[in-house]
Amino acid sequence: MKLYPQNLFRDRTYQTNQEFPGTDALEVVSHGCRLFGYTMFPGGDVCEKHPCVIVLHGFPGHCTNHDLDQALRRMGCVVVNPFYRGAWGSEGNYTFSGLIEDIDVIASWVQSPEIAEKYHIDTDNVFLAGHSMGGLTCINVLRHTPWLRGGVCIAPYDMPWFFENGQEDKFKALLLEGSCLKQESPTSLFENAKTCYKKLAFSQAFDDLKDRNLYFVGGKKDFLAPPADMIRPLWDKLANHATAASQKYDLLDSDHSFSDSRITMCTMVGKWIASQVKGAEYVNL
């Protein structure tokens, strides 16, 4: 299994006897609804296996991570980018509880023999990488999927923090950005958050994550998901726990979307994932 970390932001060269990279449409059924998105595959030596990264978008997903997807593909990863129910054309209604359900389905799909063979996925090296609300999804899926190799939380958004700290009205105001999502009713998202926030809270995740491979990236200028509130409480517990797992936290001088440091952020994420891939051969070209 070959990885090319130096190609995160440099085009790879393919030989005539190698498979060419490409992108397939994604269509996976979750709870009776079709989830859409795309799967990128890196090409390379015929039948060579690849690590896989499932990249999770935030709420509602205006800040895309296509640059991260492409960088990880150039490095040698299969990249799966799904859209949750009710988001960006996927069927059904968007709910916070549904985020975890949908990615559970995607993770199982990636692990299935048919898909693993089609895309040459090494199922021992499957990662999650989530931005903002995708970070919340990443944390909560990792809590019950021990076979996943690890997770990257990029400016993770701890939605339950608002309920735990008496700021429900502030959270409700933020939901207005989700008008592009398909919802059951104008108040359905808030009501769904009220019913599920306790089980999704970062404050409840330590015991499940204390020995998992985790990488947190925060932004000092992030006022939407301040890392002092949404990363540090969990990180401090992890940092004070002795573990053989790889756990790291980096803080960039940037905002919630890393608007001025996309290449830096993507490079950091790619190199951390590369460092966690079991059986990787690092190729320098």
| Interval 223-281: pLDDT, tens | 999 999 999 999 999 999 999 999 999 999 999 999 999 999 999 999 999 999 998 88
C-beta separation of 172 from 190 below 8 A: yes
Which amino acid is present at 102? D
* Paired sense of beta strands 33-41 and 22-30, if any: antiparallel
What is the helix (H) or strand (E) element at residue 230, kind and residue range?
Answer: helix 227-230
What is this structure's pTM?
A: 0.96
**Which tokens is 228 given?**
């002092």
**Which tokens is 79 given?**
């990249």
- pLDDT band, residue 206 (cuts 50/70/90): very high
pLDDT score for 186: 72
Of 44-48, 113-117, 235-239, the one with minimum mean pLDDT is 44-48
Q: What is the pLDDT of residues 61-100, one digit of tens each?
A: 888 899 999 999 999 999 999 999 999 999 999 999 999 9
User: Cα separation of 242 and 155, whole Å?
Assistant: 24
Which domains are delineated in the chain? 2-282 (3.40.50.1820)
In this predicted structure, the answer to whether residue 285 has a pLDDT above a threshold of 70 is no
In degrees and rounded to multiples of 5, residue 7 shows phi and psi of: -100, 10
> Mind spelling out the 3-state secondary structure of 98-115?
HHHHHHHHHHHHHHCHHH
Outline where 119-159 has alpha helix (H).
133-142
* Paired sense of beta strands 150-154 and 121-131, if any: parallel
**Which tokens is 262 given?**
């996309």
Closest by CA to 71, choosing from 233, 226, 267, is 267
Closest by CA to 224, choosing from 158, 168, 178, is 158
**Which of helix, strand or coil describes residue 176?**
helix
**Which tokens is 140 given?**
């909560």
Residue with tokens 């799967």: 39
Residue 255: how many other CB atoms lie within 10 Å = 16
User: Cα separation of 131 and 195, whole Å?
Assistant: 23
| Beta partners for residue 265, in sequence order | none
